[in-house]
Structure 1
């Protein structure tokens, strides 16, 4: 059986220990002071990054942990995992709720608790496949921005000491609507920086995170189906453990209005096809590469139990919203690479007036109220708000891929 954690360490991130461990140790006293005996609310806590954030925070012994997520099964597994891990501290007051953070029930819980010391929001549409048509785009922007703003308004009543909202490297020079929505989110939370401390982080792909392409390979092998991957798209990667740690460091150690990112160099970007090559070898096969999906599916359907070759299809990316490479910051942003060993920080982020934010949100809601609104209208509205947004509609989306 493949040891996934070991595979990620050896073949994806190429390091045996977390890149953030040095900064965690160097700041342990501050982390302890800011987390111990404090109340914590994690939204989207059943996902890969949210659950990793929880595992990063718990060793510092908060007094209360409330976890919100729409994924009921994910919350059940999170609880089982925490309860089954040796030496894992879980506070006596630990509760999970299957809710949307925009749900009136959540607002009642939040107000009854009179807020929390630490609030981290990981609830987001995070996949580029979330933008194939006008309704998927509406759902994406509703969740990542519009509902998130209503939540920030609640926080102004009970301001936390630390508020963190996860971003993405796709927010730097965005070419897809998902990345643009997270850039809007960055601008939005910065507009609240005068009311409570806000921080965020742009970071790499989380290796084998829920719903990711590599995570899908595990399901494909279990179902004896071919593996597929683009061979021209390069991405930065962090491990699941590292994804939660960077968020914890940004949340607790960041100054108000800062954006964090991992110090990863261009040479550390990998193609999905190169990772797939290693994965096939790690599960005991040699790859059998096919040109078409149908050829690969036919081969897979006829594979004998003791077959030593596994079918793969590698292709050039031709779907809307895919970027050939990733970046963490853009020219003009003030970068500090000295404060932390493993983290860069975008300091003194420009803060847009709240009136601009509200005007854009009003425009979005006006568009969505129209029965015949189009995806193109949404894209044009976003371009007016984010001038460097370069969106190219290619007529294909990821739901048309294996």
Structure 2
């Protein structure tokens, strides 16, 4: 039987234990003191990172846990998984609501609960492919920025002790709209830091997370379809449980207006084609390299005759917004690399200018209300606010590829 966790440890992250184990152990008592008995709200908690955060958080016995997510099926599976796993103390109050955090239902629920002590938000558009056209761009901006502001305004009615949400490595010197939206999101949440404590984390890729390219490899193999991916893109990876540990450490131990990031060395980067090759070899296949998508699709038909030659098509990246390398920190940001063994912290971030942020949000909202808006207009507006936003536009989208 294929063991995905073992594969991730052996071939993707190249470590048998969590890189955050030491920091979790050293800070166990403080984490327990700050979480035990607390009322917790997790938004987007049925996704890969949100559910991992919940599993880690439950080690420290919060008194209440409310989870909100738009994916009703994933919420049902989250409940089944937690209740079936054993060894986890489940709070007496553990409820899930399949709704959008921008909905009227969410507002009613939040006010009925009279707020929460700890709030973590994992609801976001996270894919670069979300900038294929103006409609996908608007959906991304609405979720990551405009609706996020409405959420913060609601939270200010009953301020939490802690508010945490996830950023991305792509927010450092962004080249795509998703990364730029997350960079704006950082300023947006920090602008509320005079009302409640806010923290975030710039992430590496979570290995085999929902919707990721490695996860799609498993789906393609299950359906006997060819694998494809870029051969010139290298990324940092953490395991699913490590993603939850990063968030708990940042959320609970971070100070106001701090950004956490994993201490990963460039030699630890992995390429997607190498992951695909190792996965196929582990499953007993021979990798058969093709020169085009059409050739790979044609060859995949032989798999139905129990062939062990598995077709793959790897190519150079040529789509909009694709950064060739990853970075967590810009050269203008101050870091504390001594506080944690496995995590760096971006410190001394000032409260952003609220007038500038509100002007940006008003401009985006006004532009989206027009009958016709272009992707180029949105890029231009974001560049006004983020002078270092160097958008990469090739006219091609990941949706045009296998």
* Distance in 2 (alpha carbons) for counterparts of 1:124 and 1:171: 13
Per-residue CA distance 1:55-82 (angstroms, 9 max, x = gap): 0100101110000000001001101110
TM-score normalised by L of structure 1: 0.99
SS in 1 for 2:156: helix
Name the structure 2 match of 1:303.
303
Structure 1 residue 392 displacement after superposition: 2.1
Preserved CA contact (<8 Å) 2:129 2:399:
yes
Q: Distance in 2 between matches of 1:44 and 1:20?
A: 23
CA-to-aligned-CA distance 1:315-352 (integer Å, 9 cap, x gap): 00000010001000000101110000000000011332
Deviations 1:236-258 (A, max 9, x none): 00000001110110000000000
Q: Counterpart of 1:356 in 2: which secondary structure? A: helix
Alignment of 1:20-59 (within 5 A): 20-59=20-59
SS at match of 1:99: coil
Structure 1 residue aligned with 2:135: 135
Using the alignment, how far apart are the partners of 2:91 and 2:26 within structure 1? 25
Where do 1:3-402 residues align within 5 Å?
A: 3-402=3-402
Q: Deviations over 1:83-126 (max 9, x none)?
A: 11021221111000110001011011111111101000000000
Structure 2 SS opposite 1:109? helix
Partner SS for 2:303 = coil
Secondary structure in structure 2 of the residue aligned to 1:291: coil
What SS does the aligned partner of 1:302 have? helix
For residue 306 of structure 1, report the CA deviation from its aligned partner: 3.0
Structure 1 runs of 4+ with >2 Å offset: 302-306
Q: Deviations for 1:21-52, whole angstroms, at most 9, x for unmatched residues?
A: 11011001110011101100000000000000
SS of the residue aligned with 1:141? helix
Cα distance in 1, alignment partners of residues 176 and 285 from structure 2: 35
Kept in 1: contact 2:227–2:311 (CA 8 A): yes
Residues of 2 paired with 1:21 and 1:154: CA distance? 35
Q: 1 CA distance for matches of 2:304 and 2:400?
A: 28
Quick one: distance in 2 between partners of 1:144 and 1:85? 32
1:305 Cα deviation from its structure 2 partner: 4.0
The count of corresponding residues between Structure 1 and Structure 2 is 402
Shift of the alpha carbon at 1:304? Answer: 4.4
Shift of 1:365: 0.6
Alpha-carbon distance, 1:138 to partner: 0.4
Secondary structure in 2 aligned to 1:65? strand
> Residues of 2 paired with 1:47 and 1:38: CA distance?
22
Distance 1:157 1:258 in 2: 23
Give the 3 Å change call, closer, same or farther, for CA 304–101 of structure 1 in structure 2: closer
Gaps of 5+ in 2: none
Does the CA-based 8 Å contact 2:322-2:392 persist in structure 1? no
Where structure 1 has 5 or more consecutive residues not aligned to the other structure, the ranges are none
Question: Could you report, residue by residue, the CA deviation over 1:111-170 in whole angstroms, capped at 9, with x for unpaired residues?
Answer: 111110100000000001111000100000000110011110111111111110100000
Maintained 8 Å contact 2:224/2:304: no
Q: Secondary structure at the match of 2:45?
A: coil
Whole-angstrom CA distance in 1 between matches of 2:76 and 2:32: 28
Describe the SS at the equivalent of 1:66: strand
**Cα distance in 1 for residues equivalent to 2:144 and 2:249:** 22
